[in-house]
Structure 1
Amino acid sequence: MTRKLRVGVLGAGIAERHLTGFGWNSGLFEVPVLCSLDADRGQRLCEEHKIPEYTQDAESLFARDDLDIIDIATPPSSHFELCRKAIESGKHVICEKPLFGSIAEVDEMAKILARSNGRKLMPIFQYRYGSGLQKLKLLIERGLAGKPFLTTIETHWWRGPDYYAVPWRGKWATELGGGLLGHAIHAHDMLNYVHGPCAEVFSYGATLVNPIEVEDTASLSVKMKNGSLATLSMTLGSRKEISRLRFCFSNLVAESILEPYTMGRDPWTFIAGTEDHQARVDAALAGYEAKEDGYTRQFELFHRAIVEERDPPVTLQDARNSLELVTAAYHSQRTGRPTPMPITADHSLYGSWLPEEARTSAAGA
C-alpha cells in the first residue's frame, strides 16, 4: 500500500496552486493543516480543500510530530529561516521560488541538510514538467538533437499597479529582486535543465514599467558551460503576454508554444534537418508516455524521492544554478562587464545581490 505523506502548508497565495497539486495526488499526500497570517484567504482555502485545521502560528507546525513535509509558499524574504526551522525540526521541505536571497544562503542550507539525517529540500520549478519540454529532454537523451548552438527565451508578461499593491512586492528587502528573480526564473531554469549550468553572462536591466525599486525589464547574453550561447529577454511591460523558448541544435530546432504561463506544455514543434532524421524524431516522439505536469508531477516525483530515499527531482544545486544566473546578471548590470560563474565565496555579491542601500535597510528592519 502506498504511504501517504502528511503536509503542513505555510501560505495562502501561490499555496492555492500547491493545494491543487496535492489534491491531484490524493493517494500520495494529505494536508491536515494550513498556516497563514491572512485569515480570510487561509480559512477559505481550508474550506475549499477540506483541510481540517487552520492556524496563524507557524511555530506550531515545526513542533508537530505528525507532519512529514512543510510546504513553504510565503514571501521570498522568509524562505531561508522557515526552511531552516523545518529541516531542523525533522521535516522534509518544499519551497517556492525564488528559493533564497543569496548564494551564501544556498551553501549554508547545504550544510544544514548534510547534518539533517536525510531530510530533503525540494525547490519549486514546476514548469520543467510540461510535455513539450519533456519531449525535448527525451530527444536529447536519445541522441537525436545533436550539438547545441543557440537558445532564445522570451518572458514578456504584464504587471500593472494592482500587482504591486501587495505590500511586499516591488521592494528589494521583501521580494529580493524583480522580474529576473520572480518571473523569468522559471524559463531560465528550463535553460539550465536542458543545457546545464551557465558559464558567463552580460546583462542590462532597467525599471521602465512601474515605479518600483526592482527591475521590470532585462536582456541577457549568456555563454553556457556546454559551449552553446543563449539570449534571454524579460519584461513586465508586454501588453500581449507571451513566453517562448527556442532551442537550436545541429540536428533539430525545438520551439515552445507562446502561452505565457504554460509554455512547457504541448504542442511544441520539433523540426529536423532532413526527412530521414525527421522520421527518427517523429518515431521517438510517438513513443513518449504522457504524464501529469506542473506541481502535480513535481509533487508526485518528490513523494517517490522520499519513499525510495532518492534525491528530489529538483535539487538545491538546481536552485543554485538558477540563483547564480540572477546574481551574475545583477553584477553585470552594475559593473557593465560580463560576469563569470560559478559564484564563489570571494564574489562581491555572494552574500547578497541586493544593492548596498537595500542591504542596509533590510539589516535594520
Structure 2
Amino acid sequence: MNELRVGMVGHAFMGAAHSQAWRAVNRFFDLPLRAHMTALCGRDANRAAAAAEKLGWASYETDWRVLVERDDIDLVDICTPGDTHAEIAIAALRNGKHVLCEKPLANTVAEAEAMAEAAASAPGVRSMCGYTYRRVPAVALLARLVAEGRVGRVHHVRAAYLQDWLVDPATPMSWRLSAERAGLGALGDIGSHIVDIVQHLTGERITGVSGLTETLVPERPTVDGGTGQVTVDDAAIFLARLTGGALATFEATRFATGRKNALRVEINGSAGSLAFDLERLNELEYYDASRPSGENGFTRILVTEPDHPYLAAWWPPGHLLGYEHGFTHQARDLIEAIATGVQPRPSFADALDVQLVLDAVARSHGEWIPIPERRP
C-alpha cells in the first residue's frame, strides 16, 4: 500500500489528538493510502524527542522549516497556536506538501486570505482546516437530514459553545489569553467551531452579524509570580442572518460555570427541528412536524448504527464513540480526498468564511456588520 508520510508541527493537546487519529485511521478504515507518522516537530529537542516516542512518531525536528522541506514528508499537520499557522502552511504548500491546519485558520483575515490564496495556487496539493466536529457521526447525520429536507425551510438556528475553565480569576495566563498568540479569545477558540458548524449544517453563509464581546478578568497571574494583561475576549454573544433568511444566535464563553465542553446547536424549520449536544455526542434529537400532534415529540436517535456516518468501521450498535473518534474520521476523509484527487472540506476557503464572521463580530460593538464575500 502506498504511504502518506505525515509531519506534525506541535505536540500538545491537539498534537496528541491528531497523533491518536494517525495511529488509528488505517486500523479501522480501509483506505488507498497508509498514514506513516514520519516526523514530529517541537521547539525543545528534549520535549520533542519525548513526545515523538510517546505519541508514536518515527523521528523529530526542532525547526518547522526543516520539516516542510523534507523529501520524506507528504503532508504537514499544523497543531500550533494561531500566530504561526499562516507562515507554516504557506511554506508547506509552496513545497508541494498537503496541509491539515488546526482551527481557526489564522489570527487575522489578511493571514487567512493569504493562506486561501496559497492553497488555490497549489494545483494538485490538498489543504483542509481542522473543524473536527463536522466529523462527529451525529453531526454528520444532522447535516444529511437537513440536506434531505427533513426540517424544511430553516427559520431559526441557535448555537452555543460553553466552557468554564477561566471562571477562577487565579487561573494563570496562557498563550490563549494573548491576542498576539491567539488572535481572539473565546470568540476565536470555540466561537469559530459554532460558526463553522452552522454554515456547514445549513449549507448557507452568514451574511451579517451584530455582537458584543467582554473580557471579564482583565489581569491574571503569571508563572513567574507577576501578573499579565488579558488581551482577548472571555465571552462573545452575537446575532446573525443566513443567506436563506434564517435568524441565528451564537454564544461562546469560557465563563459558563459548570459547563465543561457544551457545544449545542438547534435548527428549527418549517417541517421539523434537529438538536445536538456535544456532551451527549452519540445522540441526536429530531422533531418531525408531520406526525400527529397526539403522538409527537422530540425523538432521541442513538447514532451508533452501521448505516450512520462513519459507524460501520467501529463497534456493534449501542457501543458509544468518544471525542477522539472525530479526529480519526478527519484523517480518514483527508486521506480519501488526497488519494482520489478531490478538495477536502472544510477547505481553506471555507475556513476563511469563518474568519470573516469572527472579524465582523470583533468589530461590531453592537452595530450590524455585513459579511463581505471572500476574495479567493
One of 168, 186, 210 as aligned partner of 1:179: 186
One of 323, 329, 340 as aligned partner of 2:361: 329
**Separation in structure 2 between the aligned mates of residue 55 and residue 16 of structure 1, nearest angstrom:** 16
One of 251, 266, 272 as aligned partner of 2:282: 266
Secondary structure of 2:176's match?
coil
Cα drift, residue 145 of structure 1: 1.5
Give per-residue Cα distances to partners, 1:201-243, cap 9 Å, x unaligned.
0001111145311111111010111110101112111121132
Instruction: Give 1:359's aligned residue.
Output: none
Instruction: Give 1:351's aligned residue.
Output: none
1:12–1:41 Cα contact (<8 Å) kept = no
**Separation in structure 2 between the aligned mates of residue 133 and residue 274 of structure 1, nearest angstrom:** 23
Cα drift, residue 105 of structure 1: 2.5
One of 327, 333, 338 as aligned partner of 1:301: 333
What is the TM-score with the length of structure 2 in the denominator?
Answer: 0.82
Alignment of 1:274-353 (within 5 A): 274-275=290-291, 288-291=307-310, 293-333=325-365, 336-342=366-372
**Separation in structure 2 between the aligned mates of residue 50 and residue 287 of structure 1, nearest angstrom:** 30
Instruction: Give 2:321's aligned residue.
Output: none
Q: Which sections of structure 1, spanning at least 5 residues, go unmatched?
A: 346-365
Instruction: Give 1:219's aligned residue.
Output: 237
2:132–2:326 Cα contact (<8 Å) kept = yes
Q: 1:194 to 1:106 in 2, by over 3 A?
A: same
Instruction: Give 1:148's aligned residue.
Output: 154
How many aligned positions are there? 335
Instruction: Give 2:274's aligned residue.
Output: 254
Alignment-mate amino acid for residue 268 of structure 1: L
2:274–2:286 Cα contact (<8 Å) kept = yes
Cα drift, residue 164 of structure 1: 4.7
Cα drift, residue 16 of structure 1: 0.8
**Separation in structure 1 between the aligned mates of residue 374 and residue 76 of structure 2, nearest angstrom:** 29
**Separation in structure 2 between the aligned mates of residue 123 and residue 54 of structure 1, nearest angstrom:** 23
Alignment of 1:168-207 (within 5 A): 168-195=175-202, 196-207=204-215
**Separation in structure 2 between the aligned mates of residue 87 and residue 120 of structure 1, nearest angstrom:** 9
Secondary structure of 1:227's match?
coil
**Separation in structure 1 between the aligned mates of residue 268 and residue 282 of structure 2, nearest angstrom:** 18
1:202–1:220 Cα contact (<8 Å) kept = yes
2:128–2:348 Cα contact (<8 Å) kept = yes
One of 90, 95, 103 as aligned partner of 2:101: 95
Instruction: Give 1:23's aligned residue.
Output: 23
What is the TM-score with the length of structure 1 in the denominator?
Answer: 0.85
2:158–2:249 Cα contact (<8 Å) kept = yes
Instruction: Give 1:59's aligned residue.
Output: 65
Instruction: Give 1:208's aligned residue.
Output: 216
2:41–2:62 Cα contact (<8 Å) kept = yes
Secondary structure of 1:213's match?
coil
1:103–1:343 Cα contact (<8 Å) kept = no
Alignment of 1:88-127 (within 5 A): 88-127=94-133
**Separation in structure 1 between the aligned mates of residue 307 and residue 283 of structure 2, nearest angstrom:** 13
Cα drift, residue 29 of structure 1: 0.6
Instruction: Give 1:232's aligned residue.
Output: 250
Cα drift, residue 103 of structure 1: 2.4
1:209–1:237 Cα contact (<8 Å) kept = no
Q: 1:229 to 1:268 in 2, by over 3 A?
A: same
Cα drift, residue 153 of structure 1: 1.1
Cα drift, residue 41 of structure 1: 4.1
Secondary structure of 1:43's match?
helix
**Separation in structure 2 between the aligned mates of residue 50 and residue 332 of structure 1, nearest angstrom:** 45
2:196–2:354 Cα contact (<8 Å) kept = yes
Q: CA RMSD in A?
A: 2.4
